[in-house]
Amino acid sequence: MFDCIIRNGSIVNGAGAPSFTADIAITDGAISLIVSNLGGTGRNEIDATGLVVAPGFIDIHSHSDLSLFFEPHAQSKIRQGVTTEVVGNCGVTSAPVRAIHKATLLRLFETSNFTMTTAEKELWNWPSQIDHMIELVEKGVSSNLIPLVGGVPLRVAVAGMKEHLEPQELDAIKSLLQEELRQGIWGMSSGPYYIPESHFKREELIELCTVIREHNAIWAVHMRDEGQRLFAAVDEVIDIAYQSRVSLQISHLKLEGTSNWGRATDLLARIDRARAEGVNVHWDQYPYTAYGSGLVDAIPPAWRAGGVDQVLSRLSNKQFSDSLKQAMLHGTETWRSPLEEIEIEKIIVTEVKNNPEYAGKTIGELATAWHEVPVDAILRLLVTQEGSVKVVVPAMSEEDVEVIMQHPATMISSDGKAVSPRGRYAQLHPHPRYYGAFPRVLGRYVREKGILDLPEAIRKMTSLPASQLGLKDRGMIAEGQAADIVIFNPKTVVDRATFQQPCRSPQGIEYVLVNGDVVIKEGEHTGRYPGRLLKRQ
């Protein structure tokens, strides 16, 4: 007797090949047989007639390592069909933590990612990212976790918020990175867009990437700029990858700001040239025209180099605040403001520290209520919320999203966290990608718009990211592969999360299996949490 049999499904195997009808047998968490008209019985049987059976989706750009600490059973990812998450992106991970700079690290998290209670801060002590991952999985998670370690905690652990590193400090960061890689971390993520990683020099990043390359790991990077200086930022990371020979993963490739709109073909051509010249460069994309970030990013990095609190404490000085507002709106000699080419009033507040009633409001709505112009509303928000404000920012064009999506090398990602519309996250008004990224591709871009065909879309979610990672036992429907499987209705699958109502699970995802265990059954969670920590071998 088999543990599970999936019968009569239309199998899309993840390799981009046309679908075929067959039965799948699962034994001991792995696919043991794929045949037509399979005999025998299974302890559990699923009739997939009229449904698509695909490999579980691999979210190559996720931040669930941060959210699962607060609520380990958060379900927004598994309900999308995501069975494996690559966590720890954009340079931000929970560890390593060193006592000497712990307060600095947690304050950075508060201003850019989430707020914490005093009790939660006391628990935030993992000496390595692997230690944090082990704790998460022991509590029970729905999806498998593939961890990266972030450049922010690596740098802060050694040097705090220092702008310039001494040679011995860089050596200490490299030693921390090596130890993480030895323990099974899959690579390092960087966020040179963010302080303090913005202080890394190109030569220092090359040294770190050389360490990553020596361990045959990957470098995932949120570039220094995705707006007016996007092309220069792409050139920088490509050059670092060329110099170090590292495997580069450009995070959430996009073109922010109206001056970039229509240039997606040029951007892809530039990356393709590098690939043709032997640079090992890859990228992912989430299928939306708005990004999510901390509102502190509207303040020039040079102004908040010593921490956002120093800026907020000086806003009562009119000369200072007037000068700051000009810089926020028009940029500086060395920094182009993300506010220059967007409609500021359409920015959506998603999470705040002190006034949950602000979540879901736009900057325009708050400015009107407060009888202020939008830039003053931004500063009022930052002051009243102690710098802890998350936002969603409309900034990209739909045409560019579609051009990037169609490139054969583009992987699909969420850039989101596993959350749920209850408990800790009840007051959250997140980016809809937290709940809908993968079904959105299947419903909107495959079925409705025909931007991709179904086998190609599935390949971008499964075997393509598995290949980039070197993940050999997942990403395909094939005998011997781990039984990470999603079963969905191709006629109804679609995201239901919107910017106005983001906490809505998708429709059409009928079953999800993780390591052979049924986690989603007829669209509902079974209460099973079979996700594993996958270490790099």
pLDDT of residue 111: 81
| Exposure class string for 346-371: b at 16+ Cβ within 10 A, else e | bbbbbbbbeeeebbbbbbbbbbeeee
pLDDT of residue 109: 87
* 13 domain residue, yes or no: no
pLDDT in tens, 483-518: 999 999 999 999 999 999 999 999 999 999 999 999
pLDDT in tens, 323-357: 999 999 999 888 889 899 999 999 999 999 999 99
pLDDT of residue 334: 84
* 327 domain residue, yes or no: yes
* 382 domain residue, yes or no: yes
Q: How far apart are CA 499 and CA 497, in angstroms?
A: 7
> DSSP letter at 6?
E
Indicate the pLDDT class of residue 422, thresholds 50, 70 and 90. confident
Q: What angle do CA 391, 396, 397 make, to 5 degrees?
A: 145
pLDDT at 115 over 90: no
Indicate the pLDDT class of residue 209, thresholds 50, 70 and 90. very high
Q: How far apart are CA 58 and CA 365, in angstroms?
A: 37
pLDDT at 236 over 90: yes
pLDDT in tens, 459-488: 999 999 999 999 999 999 999 999 999 999
Q: Which residues contact 527 (CB under 8 A, 6 or more apart)?
A: none
Q: How far apart are CA 535 and CA 131, in angstroms?
A: 12
Indicate the pLDDT class of residue 423, thresholds 50, 70 and 90. confident
pLDDT at 211 over 80: yes
Six-digit token string for 403: 């051009």
> DSSP letter at 166?
-
Residue type at 471 in one-letter notation = L
Over pLDDT 70: what percentage of the chain?
A: 100
The residue-averaged pLDDT of 387-409 equals: 97
pLDDT of residue 336: 87
Q: Is 57 exposed, middle or buried (0-12, 13-18, 19+ CB in 10 A)?
A: buried
Q: What is the spatial order of strands in the sheet that 290-294 belongs to?
A: 290-294, 389-394, 348-352
Indicate the pLDDT class of residue 365, thresholds 50, 70 and 90. very high
The residue-averaged pLDDT of 81-86 equals: 98
Q: How far apart are CA 347 and CA 374, in angstroms?
A: 10
- DSSP state string for 340-355: TTS-GGG-EEEEESS-
- DSSP state string for 23-56: EEEEETTEEEEEETT--S-EEEEEE-TT-EEEEP
* 80 domain residue, yes or no: no
* 328 domain residue, yes or no: yes
pLDDT of residue 274: 98
> DSSP letter at 447?
I
pLDDT of residue 302: 86
* 347 domain residue, yes or no: yes
Under a CB-based contact definition with an 8 Å cutoff, are residues 513 and 26 in contact? yes
| Exposure class string for 455-487: b at 16+ Cβ within 10 A, else e | bbbbbbbbbbbbebbebeebbbbeeebbbbbbb
The residue-averaged pLDDT of 372-400 equals: 96
**What is the domain extent for residue 326?**
293-394
pLDDT at 217 over 90: yes
Instruction: Indicate the range of 149-153, 183-187, 420-424 predicted with least confidence.
Output: 420-424
Under a CB-based contact definition with an 8 Å cutoff, are residues 427 and 356 in contact? yes
Average pLDDT of the chain, as a whole number: 96
Six-digit token string for 488: 């969905």
Q: How far apart are CA 12 and CA 7, in angstroms?
A: 14
> Helix or strand or coil: residue 78?
helix
Under a CB-based contact definition with an 8 Å cutoff, are residues 409 and 283 in contact? yes
Q: How far apart are CA 209 and CA 188, in angstroms?
A: 8
Under a CB-based contact definition with an 8 Å cutoff, are residues 177 and 149 in contact? yes
Q: Number of folded domains in the chain?
A: 1
* 370 domain residue, yes or no: yes
Q: Is 104 exposed, middle or buried (0-12, 13-18, 19+ CB in 10 A)?
A: middle
pLDDT of residue 319: 94
* 302 domain residue, yes or no: yes
pLDDT at 305 over 90: no
pLDDT of residue 358: 96
pLDDT at 180 over 90: yes
The residue-averaged pLDDT of 421-437 equals: 92
Under a CB-based contact definition with an 8 Å cutoff, are residues 419 and 390 in contact? no
Six-digit token string for 478: 């094939």
Residue 67 has φ and ψ, to the nearest 5°, of: -75, -30
Q: How far apart are CA 533 and CA 371, in angstroms?
A: 50
pLDDT of residue 307: 79
State CA 324 to chain mean position distance.
Answer: 31
| CA dihedral angle for residue 342, residue 344, residue 345, residue 347, rounded to 10 degrees | 90
pLDDT of residue 335: 84
pTM of the model as a whole: 0.97
